[in-house]
Amino acid sequence: MIHFSGVFVAFAGGFILLWLYGQDWFMNFSLAGVNMRDLFQMHTINLSVAVWVGFIALFGVATDDGVLMGTYIHHVFLEKDPQTRHAIREAVVTAGLKRVRPAAMTTATTLVALLPVLTSTGKGADIIVPMAIPTFDGMLIQSMTMFVVPVFQCWWREGLLKKEETTGQCLAQNRPVHKAARLVPVDLPVDDPRIFGRNDFPHGHHPTRTPITGLQP
């Protein structure tokens, strides 16, 4: 489930860009004599089948970064087997740093590939542009996944460690005390005080016992 945590961040980014497209102030400037709102055909975007298809595509791409980060963190934990909170955090940071570049490259290539789609004006652009909008900003915001997944991994594994420590303390407190065994000869009578203490049974009454056939603890 932790691997899919970046999907929620990505979906939030997709809805944010859909809202920004309908705001007149967003990207309302010119660059080299070209207005950015006109270049990207920014206007109010209604939820349609094309938009939801874009969210489906975003789900797949966003999950890839989460799995990329989470599986390597799991591999590092299997290799190092940290047993303290400091060791857990160190392992998460080590694994996360080694997967920042691959995750960033995945995001960058997706964003660059979607730029021509967002600026397209040909036939079918009215369908493909709304499809690309949530995917573009979702991937832009989804870059936070490289921080979200390690944080959740660290939080989860520290919780497991705390649970194990609590369970171990409870077992230690409830552990029966093993007293040293007291060995007595086998041929002593039942009422011999070396078998039963003098005060074990009041009024000198002792229970009926069968003869001892071995060393009695």
Q: Which residues of 37-57 are buried (b: 16+ CB within 10 A; e: fewer)?
A: beebebeebeeeebbebbbeb
Gap between the Cα atoms of 149 and 93, Å rounded = 11
pLDDT at 214 over 70: no
Determine which of 11-20, 24-33, 181-190 has the lowest per-residue pLDDT on average.
181-190
Which residue from 68, 204, 88 is spatially nearest to 155, judged by alpha carbons? 88
The structure tokens listed for 167 are: 């369970």
- What does the pLDDT look like over 188-211, one tens digit per residue? 555 555 554 444 444 444 444 444
Spell out the domain ranges in the chain: 2-173, 180-217
Q: What rounded mean pLDDT belongs to the chain?
A: 78
- What does the pLDDT look like over 45-69, one tens digit per residue? 888 899 999 999 888 888 887 888 8
The structure tokens listed for 99 are: 């997967």
The structure tokens listed for 72 are: 């390597």
The structure tokens listed for 97 are: 């740093």
Say what percent of the chain tops pLDDT 90.
Answer: 12
- The confidence band for 15, taking pLDDT boundaries of 50, 70 and 90, is very high
The model's pTM is 0.65
- CATH number of this structure's domain 2-173: 1.20.1640.10
For 92, the 3-state DSSP assignment is helix
Which residue from 48, 49, 99 is spatially nearest to 72, judged by alpha carbons? 99
For 205, the 3-state DSSP assignment is coil
For residue 35, the surrounding DSSP H or E stretch is: strand 34-35
The structure tokens listed for 44 are: 């109010």
Query: Residues 88, 94, 98, 104: what is their CA dihedral angle, to the nearest 10 degrees?
Result: 70
Report yes or no: 118 and 136 within 8 Å, Cβ to Cβ: yes
| Position 169, amino acid | Q
